[in-house]
Homo-oligomer: A and B are copies of this chain.
């Protein structure tokens, strides 16, 4: 074969690549939160923008001890390739842990993921063809919009109120034959609201009637600061179909997503998916192609840290810690916000949700706020189909009490100026 003439520089990267991008890239959206996080990283900005747990409550000593034991006693396993399904003792521990919250499953139904975000990605890829519909709350978790958007999903949104998704509006959405319903029943991100017991039951009845799977995202369920624990949708679904009577199996229409990011530390990237047999086996297959498996090292460190009751003791500790910060923020809002500003009163989780008076726009407010060295996330990005211009999300887990008071004071002043 003779040599070709010099290439006509068609490989200038811009045209070379952009002409070849897949459709799903156009469906992908950059997360506003994560872009913002870069901007607000300056030390003098009081940021309520992230969703970061407080490093003060990372169990650093326990993780250090666990890491040493893992490396010294099982280093050859921790540093080696492992099964796609995840480290079995960790899956067994997660099963025992969920059992204490009424969720009864077998380790075979648990797949360990790189955070709950990967669970969303895998579920989206399992179920969504381009153009398929998915029902979500509005507002809903931005990372879910991103994951399902990358599958080129259409969003059918159902608004919420103080008791979570307006299930009286859900049936109409189900008639449009969505592939699944995506819900965060506990202390929702971003709104902080909790789906009431009655509405949970109704979601399961409706989803069962229409044969629509439910994806239950529960990163914060154990971080409850007041009120009683409400049963998970995955438990209600099992009860409804009568398959939890000693069977410890899952047969129904709910996929449940959990994570250790808020319970231990997000830097470990350990989450999990619970799904019926035929679903979990397919998720395992997708996970295998996606990244082979979650780090054996971080899984074993998470297991070694969490076992022997530590996770429960630690959860009790961070509940008190974050509960106090929530109280500080609620009190500060009461003191500092001008009349006409409304906010939710979350019973748990990391976030609360502010609605500004008519005429204000949270995105442009953010510019003023950053000038005063305080940050939040404008609500618009949490609405898959637009809206929410008057809303914003505040995180209360990351900043200390003094910072919360000062930050809310600044924010109140910025809003007051805008209103006049």
Residues in B whose Cβ lies below 8 Å from that of A324: none
Measured CA separation A309–B121 after assembly (Å): 37
A282 adjacent to B25 (CB under 8 Å): yes
Report A137-171 CB contacts with B as 1/0, cut-off 8 Å.
00000010011011100000000000000001001
- Chain B: which residue is nearest A297 at the CB level? B267
Is the CB–CB distance between A75 and B58 below 8 Å? yes
Please name 19 further chain A to chain B contacts, defined as beta carbons within 8 Å, in addition to the given A17-B278, A80-B265, sorted by A numbering.
A1-B202, A4-B206, A10-B209, A11-B237, A11-B251, A12-B251, A17-B253, A22-B127, A28-B282, A28-B286, A31-B289, A55-B79, A58-B79, A63-B71, A81-B261, A113-B291, A114-B291, A125-B150, A143-B289
18 chain-A/chain-B pairs, Cβ below 8 angstroms: A10-B211, A11-B208, A11-B211, A11-B251, A13-B278, A17-B213, A17-B253, A52-B80, A55-B75, A64-B68, A81-B261, A81-B267, A143-B289, A146-B289, A268-B295, A269-B293, A269-B297, A297-B298
Interface residues of A (CB under 8 A from B): 1, 3-4, 7-18, 20-25, 28-31, 34, 38, 50-53, 55, 58, 60, 63-64, 67-68, 71-72, 75-84, 113-115, 117-118, 121, 125-129, 132, 143, 146-147, 149-151, 168, 171, 179-180, 202, 205-209, 211, 213, 237, 240-241, 250-253, 261, 265-269, 276-279, 282, 285-286, 288-298, 301
